[in-house]
Amino acid sequence: MPNYIHSAPGVSGEQATVKIANNADSGSAYLTVPQLQDVTINNANDVFTWSQLDTTAKNQVATTSTNSVTCNIVLDPTTWFGTGTYSATGTMANNGILQSSINKDQIEFRIDLGGTTAKTIEGEGYITGLAPTTSADSPVWISPITITVTGEYTLGTNIDSDD
């Protein structure tokens, strides 16, 4: 039987987690994104295409990629607004997700895939795509979050041991 990468919702240490930190914070104090509903890690390679007179098929070569991480969370005031007054070099917990997006702070992120992989996907980027919403059928505020990645993803080891 194959060994799958899986997360186990509700099982401590086994579920997927996303942690973010303000890149300007020299201590890189990571904030665990709370009430995570889903995570999507996107790696979309661009392709250059050209035609030649001596062939009936097009040629293609991979070029740069556009990377992003998206997730949906249930909002809580502490992580959304932060615990203090905004500072460009403040911690993510102090500044909050919303203020870090408004001020276009470059962040670091680490995604633990969950399960027994002990692997993470890490990188740097910017928080974008915030769109809080609520409705009669969903009486709590929910928002998508996109981390637009600058540069490459890197592979790391389990984030629980090094933050």
* DSSP structure class, residue 34: P
3-state secondary structure 60-108: EEEEEEEEEEEEEEECCHHHHHCCCCCCCCCCHHHHCHHHHHHCCCEEE
Distance CA 145, CA 127 (A): 7
Distance CA 80, CA 146 (A): 14
Rg (CA), the chain: 19
pLDDT for residue 12: 66
Q: Six-digit token pair at 94?
A: 């102090």
Output the tens digit of pLDDT for each of the chain's 163 residues: 456 666 666 666 677 889 999 887 766 688 889 888 999 999 998 999 999 999 999 999 989 989 999 999 999 999 999 998 888 888 899 999 999 999 999 999 999 887 666 788 999 999 999 999 999 998 899 999 999 999 999 998 765 544 4
Q: Which residues of 62-73 are buried (b: 16+ CB within 10 A; e: fewer)?
A: eeeeebbbbbeb
Q: Which residues of 80-106 are buried (b: 16+ CB within 10 A; e: fewer)?
A: bebeeebeeebbbbbbbbbbbbeeebe
Domains, the chain, with CATH or none: 17-161 (2.30.110)
